[in-house]
Amino acid sequence: MGNSLKRVAVLASGNGSNFEAIIQAVEEGRINCSVELVFSDKPDAYVLERAKNHKIPFTSFMIKDFSSKLEYEQELLKILKENQIDILILAGYMRLIGNELLDAFPQRIINIHPSLLPSFPGLHGIEDAFNYGVKYTGVTVHYVDSGIDTGKIINQAVVDIAPDDDLESLEAKIHQTEHIIYPDTLAKLINKGE
């Protein structure tokens, strides 16, 4: 990808704690990129408040305001192009990425998922692992392809499920691990210019 400073957009649907961890790492100079934009498909997502606090431009619109997913992604792609975005970082973006974006960002869309893929893909990775009764789960950072959490794995971290864990304590452990592994992995990827 060359050595110029990478221009990043973060896509998120919710709280944005991973966005916060990433932006902190960027502000501390640990990830060599500039976060140009935050997009949310949920206009009331707290991640937008976080973007505002960090003085990062943000925008939001909902898929239901478009007649198709294609048109929704075309609008998003237009904005990403206007902002000359190189890399998309998904941080709790709870939607499948369609071909419009995949084709525009080959091997340039990165996601974090709260399980040890290929186990427990989908929207409820933490809960599904907890309910299954596995003793170890974790976090996966991966490239995004057209499947549900099926893209090439970049990094993983293990989180143990202790006998006294409940769903809430497990969620806390997973998020704690995410906030370390995601910035670290992005730093490794982006800083070496891949």
Binding site: which residues? 16-18, 69, 94-97, 111
Which residue number places its CB atom closest to ligand GAR?
92
Query: Please, which residue, 114 or 151, has the CB nearer to ligand GAR?
Result: 114
Q: Does 185 bind ligand GAR (CB under 6 A)?
A: no
Task: State the nearest-atom distance from the C-beta of 106 to ligand GAR, in Å.
Answer: 21
How far is 14 from 122, CA to CA, in rounded Å? Answer: 16
Q: Is 175 annotated as catalytic?
A: no
Q: What's the min distance (Å) between Cβ of 4 and ligand GAR?
A: 28
Subset of residues 14 to 53 that bind ligand GAR, contact rule: CB under 6 A: 14-18
The span from the CA of 149 to the CA of 144, in Å, is: 7
At 59, is the secondary structure helix, strand, or coil? strand
DSSP string, 60-98: E--GGGSSSHHHHHHHHHHHHHHTT--EEEESS--S---
Q: How far apart are CA 111 and CA 84, in angstroms?
A: 20
CA atoms within a 13 Å half-sphere pointing along the CA-CB vector of 10 = 31
Known binding positions for (6R)-10-formyltetrahydrofolate? 69, 94-97, 111
Query: Which listed range, 26-34, 63-71, 112-120, 184-192, lies at the site for ligand GAR (CB under 6 A)?
Result: 112-120
91 sits near ligand GAR (criterion: CB under 6 A)? yes
Span of 8-16, 25-33, 67-75, 161-169 interacting with ligand GAR by CB under 6 A: 8-16
Would you count residue 183 as binding ligand GAR (CB under 6 A)? no
Interacting stretch for ligand GAR, rule CB under 6 A, among 26-34, 73-81, 107-115, 185-193?
107-115
> With helix as H, strand as E and coil as C, how does 4-23 read?
CCEEEEEEECCCCHHHHHHH
| One-letter identity of residue 87 | I
d(CA 18, CA 188): 17
The token pair that represents 105 in the structure block = 């960002």
Token digits of residue 117: 């893929």
Which residues bind to ligand GAR, rule: CB under 6 A?
Answer: 12, 14-18, 91-92, 112-114, 123, 125, 149, 175, 178
- Residues with catalytic annotation? 113
